[in-house]
Amino acid sequence: MQEIGIGIVGGGYMGKAHAVAHAAVGAVFGTRLRPRLEMVCASSAQSAEGYRQAYGFAHATSDWRTLVNDPQVGAVIIATPQETHRPIAEAAFALGKPVFCEKPLGASLADSRAMVAAAEASGCANMAGFNYIRTPASQFARKLIADGAIGDITWFRGEHTEDFFADPAAPATWRTHGAANGTMGDLAPHMINAALALIGPIDRLIAEVETVHSKRPGGTVTNDDHAQMMCRFANGVMGQMYFSRIATGRKMGYAYEITGTKGAIRFDQEDQNALWLYRMEGPDATRGFTKILTGPDHPDYLPFCQGPGHGTGYQDQIIIEARDFLRAIETGQPVWPTFRDGMEVNRIVAAALQASEQKTWVDVATI
């Protein structure tokens, strides 16, 4: 068993999730590489020290350069706003340190391309944070598709919908400024990642991106509220996606439907421990969607719980990510999704924004 010092840049919502994950991953998965919470970085010395005490880090700093350069920090986790991702990652890779970066990979496609170049030049382990696709149910959906359980795929529909800005009277915040913080920068990457994982590469697309509430108390909104996209996958499958932060009533609407020649799959993150499966077999009178409750026979469920139907949660997705990151570091073998996979998501976002502006279909290969 070997230890590795973990440095987390950002101590807020996702910083806490990653700190908890790395504190627990050794016990949950019995990893041979055991993380040690070495240093946390936050925007001020006071908040960094508060996170250090709360999460159990050995050290704290308000300067990410101090964290990256510390010899006791063997791997870096970036859980800060998108515009900070690139310089932190490039500095860590230059020192030969593995990096896990929360999505999206940088604030732009140019950022993500530079980050991929730095990662691949360094030869270090690198991962992009797309946690929702790691639920046991979605992992099982990927396996069903790969095994041909629902035949040849003919259609995909996906959405990532929430309602935290559904109220027009909700005040302007940092989320209402800058393209990286809009729906296409914030929510769309998760479902685009799911589409690429479940169906495969996207060849071409057309999209509409819209700001519905351009004025909010406290300021003007400079980014998008919702967007819709039609696409054609490289394997010929027809698809459509919708992304929204104004979808009244939706709290975690990461959902998809997949139709095949022998069956269909449905999933909704608001009921993340269930997968709905339809098989075109048996008499018509008894056919229908079956609700499959995840349990020990599904991917990455058993390490958390021995009882079927008891369920896993959001934090468990982050622990699975931590296991995969440690595995990539230990083995030296890439673990999906790498920075290059994260860059591909940003490329689809860039294509959608271009398609919306030009009001025409866009070939992703031209982006």
Which domains does the chain show, CATH number per domain?
A: 2-132 (3.40.50.720), 133-310+345-358 (3.30.360.10)
- The whole-number pLDDT of residue 143 equals 98
Indicate the DSSP class of residue 172. P
188-149-334-255 Cα dihedral, nearest 10 degrees: 20
Segments of the chain scoring below 50 in pLDDT: none
Instruction: Name, in order, each residue with C-beta under 8 angstroms of 214's C-beta and a sequence gap of 6 or more.
Output: 220, 221
Tens digit of each residue's pLDDT (9 = 90 or more) over 284-298: 998 999 999 999 999
- The whole-number pLDDT of residue 1 equals 79
pTM comes to 0.96
Long-range CB contacts (< 8 A, 24+ apart) of 141-146? Answer: 141/198, 141/258, 141/265, 141/267, 141/275, 142/197, 142/198, 143/299, 144/265, 144/277, 145/198, 145/199, 145/258, 145/260, 145/265
| Distance (Å, whole) CA 182 – CA 191 | 15
- The whole-number pLDDT of residue 235 equals 97
- The whole-number pLDDT of residue 214 equals 96
- The whole-number pLDDT of residue 219 equals 95
